[in-house]
Amino acid sequence: MKIHEIQAYLKRFFDKVQLVGSADITIDGPAKIESATKGKVSFVANEKYIRFIGSTKASLLIVGEQTPTGQYSDRLSFLKVKDPYTAFVFVLQMFAVPRMIARKGIASTAVIGENVSLGENVSIGEYAVISDHCIIGDNTVVGPRSTLLERVTVGRDCTLFPHVVCYDGTVLGDRVTIHSGTVVGADGFGFAPQPDGSYIKIPQMGIVEIHDDVEIGSNNTIDRATMGSTIIEKGAKIDNLVQIAHNCRIGESTVIASQAGISGSVTIGSHCMIGGQAGFAGHLSLPDRTHVAAKTGVSKSTHIPGQTLRGIPAQPIREQLRQEALIRNLHKMKEKLETLEAEVREMKGND
Amino acid sequence: MKIHEIQAYLKRFFDKVQLVGSADITIDGPAKIESATKGKVSFVANEKYIRFIGSTKASLLIVGEQTPTGQYSDRLSFLKVKDPYTAFVFVLQMFAVPRMIARKGIASTAVIGENVSLGENVSIGEYAVISDHCIIGDNTVVGPRSTLLERVTVGRDCTLFPHVVCYDGTVLGDRVTIHSGTVVGADGFGFAPQPDGSYIKIPQMGIVEIHDDVEIGSNNTIDRATMGSTIIEKGAKIDNLVQIAHNCRIGESTVIASQAGISGSVTIGSHCMIGGQAGFAGHLSLPDRTHVAAKTGVSKSTHIPGQTLRGIPAQPIREQLRQEALIRNLHKMKEKLETLEAEVREMKGND
Amino acid sequence: MKIHEIQAYLKRFFDKVQLVGSADITIDGPAKIESATKGKVSFVANEKYIRFIGSTKASLLIVGEQTPTGQYSDRLSFLKVKDPYTAFVFVLQMFAVPRMIARKGIASTAVIGENVSLGENVSIGEYAVISDHCIIGDNTVVGPRSTLLERVTVGRDCTLFPHVVCYDGTVLGDRVTIHSGTVVGADGFGFAPQPDGSYIKIPQMGIVEIHDDVEIGSNNTIDRATMGSTIIEKGAKIDNLVQIAHNCRIGESTVIASQAGISGSVTIGSHCMIGGQAGFAGHLSLPDRTHVAAKTGVSKSTHIPGQTLRGIPAQPIREQLRQEALIRNLHKMKEKLETLEAEVREMKGND
């Protein structure tokens, strides 16, 4: 691929893509700036990496509009754009080879139930099980050995990697991606305690709804609602090993990092960012654009959008950081207190 | 279903089920009180929800014996019971449609090993693998694609959802439910450090025993013992993504919430409640009826039954809450200390 | 098996294996010292267990060279070695029955793609899927229903338990063990935020490399690199439900306990020990022989090898423990402060 082809492609997304250097050099793939070799394209989106420009062996760098390039332009070319990070993502997409998850069509070993509706151009991998009354949209790929129980609806252009399980009634929108080992729609954790200390299971009669453009990582658990739906809204992104309990609602374009645990009936607004290993008490809600730091324990609802929470229990980050600083300096407080005690003792002795 | 049928069913479990209103109305399903429509049954078990009685569109409410109903009884009926929460669970069970996990009988694609003993009325799903010398009790359902390695014993009336793995030698009691992605009986994490810094694997020769009426959620890991058994006692309930390490013993009717981690050789008593993301150091024990708050780090054994523990490291909740309050007020202590310092300085200056 | 056979076997590993008692007794298996019966072998590696020597019913104990044995030697025999713990591991290995994961050869239900290279003596279990261009080394066992996507390379003498998924391009060394439900090589969690609040997926074009002698537990997630490789070095041991994000590098013989979460681009040195539920911020590095306590939140790189870190955020354990002690005694500081305030008030009143 020539540099001018990359420039042309980026012009689809950016008003201005300025070339510095030669347009005719062949680029054969992306690489990290510090380990790139001849023929590679890399990028600088962060000031920390400007120092590598002088030494990189890459042939093309995607950089910001203000990044100085003059002195290097004889041995490598530059494309200058407003957002070099996003531009590089597009470059990655140019070089990405489509991943083979399942061959086109229905594998001969797949089990397709009764009354299943398959769209155009659907691929169903080896040993997949599609149970009765499922509906699968156009161009969707179901990986080998994934299992859809009864009455699951999958939209178009979805990708289910191998070993995904969707329990009965699950509804997926369009362009949903789910990675291996994730279980969607298992029973919520609901048991009614009895006077003798035992528990009666509460039937979990709801479903899980996952809206368009959601991507869900590996080995997550997203439980069905007791009644109604557990909902993941459009464009949300969920990492690995995340627990989303029954009756939760996760807002649009909210991002949840690995090993976070969202307890039952929690509502999280849109455009939130939930850090790794964060946990939530049940039945609370967070407004839009809330950030929750990693390992935070959110114990009650908040009402001001755009806050950052941190700590166990969680509080606004400014208070939490102030408190952490006080704790770090506790030994100084203790010393001061002891000095003061000695002084007072001395003063009293002087009386 | 008519209200008098629901009343009759509840009388199986409660001495007194008092009807207020019409017995002849048709009820077609359960719903949340705030979103219920005509023909739905809902419930009020918590004072917070009494305010919805005036506005709900439901046709039947299950309520407590003391809940006032007179003013609403012309447009909806009530069934008054001692424990409306549990009563509503029974109502949910009346409406729950049995979930289809695997068709009756042995799927033609299931692989059944040698010397396997199958009880009456067993269902084995598509692509399940039942290895040599397994025993499966009456009415048990093994979901599609679940795998039992050699010499696994499963009791009667059990449900294994799709994609469950039981390693060799696992023993399940009766009425055990295991959800998708859970791995029972993998090797405990045991390695002997060597002088050169490498590790020798310690063979994990024990098994996992899961007793009657246990329900286990999705994507859990329950490791086999090094010698003897890792044991989950009767009626315990385990949520999702929980780690139970080798040689643990979890007591009867103990409940463990999502993402808790129980380290090796931990013994937890009966009727305990372990919060989400709680963690345990190895080789410790907790007595019966201990509650462990979410995110707690239990670092040593406790001996008084019925305590609630909280904090990292864990301590009795009263001490922990007192300590948390002191930390929240640290800035006030700092101010007081500084005021006092100034006063003492001034007093000394006065001398 | 006779005691003299056990002694002979241990002599392969230890210069000195001293027998006290009879060499001719038959030993039929290992057991814990406190529950051992006649014919069992057990061990004492920890002073706490010396008290069981007087009462154990075992017929053979593996003990340290200094452990006193004289008074018991009429009813049980001893083998005295320098490291009784490791010696007992070797004894366990003598009694361990090889676990049947898949029958020899290629199961008739396994799906083998095009251009797959299988070494000598490979076993592929029922319903395994080995995609195009995979390479599997001699003596390797792939359990039932494991899935290798395209171009996966597995070394010799590896064991993949049932329900393992390796995404395309994954490279495993020799003698690698992976337990059920673990997903290797799924996409890293990389999305570029856009001005409208939505996200563009960053193609994850790298792979995962797992070097020789690594053992990985159940239901872990090890993500592929964005570019280049996520690397687990030789001899590392990983427990269950651990998250290893894209571009991480885990050093040789490093041990990671259950539910730890390693964020993107973290580098952990060799011979480190990472405790359960520990978490890491992204892009940081820890030097060799660092110990991270359970539940720790590591928020920045450290540079001194051999440190122990603890706390949220993490700090060297001495400082953290000092700080925890100060917090535990905060109520005393508060009392002292109040006493001092009263004294100063009184002194001022006296003026």
Q: CB-based contact (8 Å) between A342 and chain C? A: no
B218 has a pLDDT exceeding 80: yes
Bridge partners (DSSP) of residue C207 are C229
Environment class of C255 (CB within 10 Å of its CB; exposed 0-12, middle 13-18, buried 19+): buried
pLDDT of residue C109: 93
Picking from B131, B202, B227, the nearest residue to C31 by CB comes out as: B227
Strands A273-274 and A255-256, bridge-based pairing: parallel
Contacts with A71 (C-beta within 8 Å, 6 or more apart), sequence order: none
What is the distance, to the nearest Å, from the Cα of residue C215 to the centroid of all Cα atoms in its chain? 7
Environment class of A85 (CB within 10 Å of its CB; exposed 0-12, middle 13-18, buried 19+): middle
pLDDT of residue A351: 56
Complex prediction ipTM:
0.93
pLDDT of residue C73: 65
Environment class of B198 (CB within 10 Å of its CB; exposed 0-12, middle 13-18, buried 19+): middle
What is the number of other CB atoms lying within 10 angstroms of the CB of residue A311?
Answer: 21
Picking from A129, A168, A221, the nearest residue to B218 by CB comes out as: A221
Q: CB-based contact (8 Å) between C333 and chain B? A: yes
Cα separations in angstroms, B7 against B38, B64, B65, B85 = 18, 14, 14, 15
Q: Which of residues 296-325 of A touch B (CB under 8 A)?
A: 297, 312-313, 322-323
Average pLDDT, chain A: 95
The minimum CA-CA distance between B239 and chain A, rounded to whole Å, is 6
Tell me the pLDDT band of B41, cut-offs 50, 70 and 90: very high
pTM summary value: 0.95
Tell me the pLDDT band of C346, cut-offs 50, 70 and 90: confident
What is the spatial order of strands in the sheet that B221-222 belongs to?
B111-112, B129-130, B147-148, B165-166, B183-184, B221-222, B243-244, B261-262, B279-280, B297-298
Closest alpha carbon to B287 in B311, B236, B251: B251
Tell me the pLDDT band of C20, cut-offs 50, 70 and 90: very high
Q: Which of C130, C131, C239 is the best mutation test for A, with the most CBs of A within 10 A?
A: C131
Reported as a single tens digit per residue, the pLDDT across A222-274 is 999 999 999 999 999 999 999 999 999 999 999 999 999 999 999 999 999 99
Region A297-315: mean pLDDT is: 97
Cα separations in angstroms, C40 against B51, B247, C9, C75, C91 = 67, 19, 17, 13, 11
Pairwise CB contact (< 8 Å): A227 & B30: yes
- In chain B, the percentage of residues whose pLDDT exceeds 90 is 87
Cα separations in angstroms, B142 against A114, A345, B112, B154 = 20, 77, 12, 10
B7 three-state secondary structure: helix
Closest alpha carbon to C241 in A33, A62, B189, B18: B189
What's the rounded Cα separation, in Å, for the pair A280 and A261?
6
What is the spatial order of strands in the sheet that B18-20 belongs to?
B18-20, B77-81, B60-64, B40-44, B29-30
C71-74 contact pairs (CB < 8 A, 24+): C73/C20, C73/C21, C74/C21
pLDDT of residue A68: 85
Q: Is A246 a catalytic residue?
A: yes
Reported as a single tens digit per residue, the pLDDT across C272-316 is 999 999 999 999 999 999 999 999 999 999 999 999 999 999 999
pLDDT of residue C350: 65
Strands (E), A73-152: 77-81, 105-106, 111-112, 117-118, 123-124, 129-130, 135-136, 141-142, 147-148
Region C142-166: mean pLDDT is: 97
The minimum CA-CA distance between B203 and chain C, rounded to whole Å, is 6
Region C26-41: mean pLDDT is: 93
Q: Which of residues 145-174 of B touch C (CB under 8 A)?
A: 145, 147, 149-150, 163, 165, 167-168
Closest Cα in chain B to C327: B323
Pairwise CB contact (< 8 Å): B197 & C253: yes
Q: CB-based contact (8 Å) between A259 and chain C? A: yes
pLDDT of residue A311: 97
- In chain A, the percentage of residues whose pLDDT exceeds 90 is 87
Tell me the pLDDT band of A172, cut-offs 50, 70 and 90: very high
Reported as a single tens digit per residue, the pLDDT across B300-323 is 999 999 999 999 999 999 999 999
Picking from B199, B243, B245, the nearest residue to C235 by CB comes out as: B199
Pairwise CB contact (< 8 Å): A205 & B330: no
Strands B291-292 and B273-274, bridge-based pairing: parallel
DSSP 8-state assignment for residue B325: H
Chain C residues within 8 A of A259 when measuring between CB atoms: 243, 259, 261, 279
Helix (H) or strand (E) holding C17: none
DSSP 8-state assignment for residue C230: E
- In chain A, the percentage of residues whose pLDDT exceeds 70 is 99
A92 three-state secondary structure: helix
Using CB atoms, list chains with 3+ pairs below 8 Å to chain A.
B, C
DSSP per-residue string spanning A252-297: TT-EE-TT-EE-TT-EE-TT-EE-TT-EE-TT-EE-TT-EE-TT-E
CB hemisphere CA count around C29 (13 angstroms): 13
Q: CB-based contact (8 Å) between B143 and chain C? A: no
Picking from B145, B263, B337, the nearest residue to C145 by CB comes out as: B145
Q: CB-based contact (8 Å) between C113 and chain B? A: no
Reported as a single tens digit per residue, the pLDDT across B44-72 is 998 888 889 988 999 999 999 999 887 77
Closest alpha carbon to A131 in B323, C255, B133, B161: B161
Asked whether B231 and B245 are in contact (CB, 8 A), the reply is: no
What's the rounded Cα separation, in Å, for the pair B279 and A326?
27
Contacts with B285 (C-beta within 8 Å, 6 or more apart), sequence order: B266, B267, B268, B269, B301
Pairwise CB contact (< 8 Å): A200 & B35: no
Environment class of C181 (CB within 10 Å of its CB; exposed 0-12, middle 13-18, buried 19+): buried
What's the rounded Cα separation, in Å, for the pair A20 and A38?
17
Q: CB-based contact (8 Å) between B269 and chain A? A: no
Asked whether A110 and A124 are in contact (CB, 8 A), the reply is: yes
Residue with tokens 């070089």: A95
Pairwise CB contact (< 8 Å): A205 & B127: no
Instruction: Choose the catalytic residue: B133, B179, B211, B246.
Output: B246
Cα separations in angstroms, B30 against A152, A223, B59 = 22, 19, 10
What's the rounded Cα separation, in Å, for the pair C231 and C235?
12
Asked whether C146 and C165 are in contact (CB, 8 A), the reply is: yes
Ramachandran quadrant class, C92 (left: phi over 0; alpha: psi -120 to 50; beta: rest): alpha
Average pLDDT, chain B: 94
Residue with tokens 């893509």: A17
Residue with tokens 């139930």: A113
Closest alpha carbon to C191 in A177, A220, A138: A177
pLDDT of residue A349: 79
Pairwise CB contact (< 8 Å): C203 & A276: no
Environment class of B23 (CB within 10 Å of its CB; exposed 0-12, middle 13-18, buried 19+): middle
The minimum CA-CA distance between A309 and chain B, rounded to whole Å, is 15
What's the rounded Cα separation, in Å, for the pair A180 and C189?
14
Contacts with B287 (C-beta within 8 Å, 6 or more apart), sequence order: B269, B302, B303, B304, B305, B306, B307
- The pair of structure tokens assigned to A333 is 């407080």
Q: Which residue has the higher pLDDT, B239 or B349?
A: B239
Q: CB-based contact (8 Å) between C198 and chain B? A: no
Reported as a single tens digit per residue, the pLDDT across A32-81 is 998 899 999 999 998 888 889 988 999 999 999 999 887 776 779 999 99
Closest alpha carbon to B267 in B233, B221, B310: B233
Reported as a single tens digit per residue, the pLDDT across B115-141 is 999 999 999 999 999 999 999 999 999
pLDDT of residue C349: 79
Picking from B183, B323, B343, the nearest residue to C180 by CB comes out as: B183
Instruction: Choose the catalytic residue: C246, C283, C291, C331.
Output: C246
B189 three-state secondary structure: coil
Closest Cα in chain C to A108: C111
What's the rounded Cα separation, in Å, for the pair C277 and C223?
18
Using CB atoms, list chains with 3+ pairs below 8 Å to chain B.
A, C
Closest Cα in chain C to B242: C241
pLDDT of residue B351: 56
Contacts with A23 (C-beta within 8 Å, 6 or more apart), sequence order: A2, A3, A4, A7, A77
The minimum CA-CA distance between A219 and chain C, rounded to whole Å, is 7
B97 has a pLDDT exceeding 90: no
Residue C124, phi then psi, degrees to nearest 5: -125, 120
Tell me the pLDDT band of B325, cut-offs 50, 70 and 90: very high
pLDDT of residue B68: 85
B247 has a pLDDT exceeding 90: yes
Pairwise CB contact (< 8 Å): A294 & C277: no
- The pair of structure tokens assigned to A274 is 């939930």
Q: Which of residues 175-194 of B touch C (CB under 8 A)?
A: 181, 183, 186-187, 189, 191-192, 194
Where is average pLDDT lowest: B103-107, B252-256, B333-337, C48-52? Answer: C48-52
- The pair of structure tokens assigned to B342 is 């100034």
Asked whether C210 and C194 are in contact (CB, 8 A), the reply is: no
What's the rounded Cα separation, in Å, for the pair C214 and B328?
45
Helix (H) or strand (E) holding B80: strand B77-81
B73 has a pLDDT exceeding 70: no
Closest alpha carbon to C88 in C37, C32, C43: C43
Picking from B198, B297, B343, the nearest residue to C235 by CB comes out as: B198
Chain B residues within 8 A of A126 when measuring between CB atoms: none
Region A105-121: mean pLDDT is: 96
Closest Cα in chain C to B299: C294
Contacts with B2 (C-beta within 8 Å, 6 or more apart), sequence order: B23, B24, B25, B26, B27
- The pair of structure tokens assigned to A230 is 């557990």
Reported as a single tens digit per residue, the pLDDT across B142-151 is 999 999 999 9
C71 has a pLDDT exceeding 80: no
Strands A18-20 and A77-81, bridge-based pairing: antiparallel
- The pair of structure tokens assigned to C57 is 């019913």
